[in-house]
Amino acid sequence: MTAAVDVINEQNSLLTGSISTFLALSRLFAGGGEQLVHTLPELVKSTQSLGLPQLMQTSQSLAAYTQVKPFEFQQMGFEFNRLFVGPASPIAPPYESVYLSPDRLVMQEQTLDVRQMYQSEHLMTASQGTAPDDFIASELEFAAYLLNRVSQESSQGNSTNALKYLSLFNGFMQKHPRRWLQLFAALVLENSRHPVFPLIMKVLLGTIECSF
């Protein structure tokens, strides 16, 4: 167990950057298009802290969109709504069950399974009752929570608990985000009319593929 915790400690920079980027992505999707002026700079900063070579150019390209004029942010907001919200049927609904359930509907088996995972940690989403538990922002925030517990337990020398949360993180990612977010991103990449969203998808995919 000590060896495994040593590996976690050696990857502390990647661990910290992943937590930050998961949270930034979560806040971007939770905040909606109107908040991109605030959430996009946070994502750029966290992506830079992640330090993945394959995302450095993406981070630089994203940074350019944090300096645009208000009209451009308005256009990004309109595109965010078209892709993820509505009022027409969104191009890429940000809910897991839409991609993995047989009928491609919200509030299916996947939603309930994710909720049970949250409840196992005595957590509930802030949007419970108004948005399905398998909303992309909630899943990304939970991933950040699990990694944060890994970091906390490891720093305190609690190897058993650190490995427990690392196992929970990897299990959650394999069963949920890594199963559907590639399908979600593919829709965005195929249908986006604004170049900022393919960049966000590259950050999303790069972050969920990080392994510990």
Token pair 């949360």 in the structure block, residue: 165
Q: What's residue 12's pLDDT? A: 84
Confidence bin at 2 (pLDDT 50/70/90): low
Q: 164: buried, middle or exposed (CB in 10 Å: 19+, 13-18, 0-12)?
A: middle
Q: What percent of the chain has pLDDT over 90?
A: 82
Domain spans in the chain, listed from the N-terminal domain onward = 2-208
d(CA 17, CA 80): 25
Q: What's residue 131's pLDDT? A: 84
For residues 194 and 80, the answer to whether their CB atoms sit within 8 Å is no
Q: What is the pLDDT of residues 116-133, one digit of tens each?
A: 999 999 999 887 777 899
State whether residue 175 is helix, strand or coil: helix
CATH number of 2-208: 1.10.3480.10
Residue 81 clears pLDDT 70, i.e. is over it: yes
Residue 5 clears pLDDT 70, i.e. is over it: no
Q: What's residue 162's pLDDT? A: 93
pTM metric for this prediction: 0.94
Dihedral over alpha carbons 124, 129, 130, 134 (to 10 degrees):
50
Q: What's residue 6's pLDDT? A: 61
* DSSP H or E segment with residue 187: helix 177-191
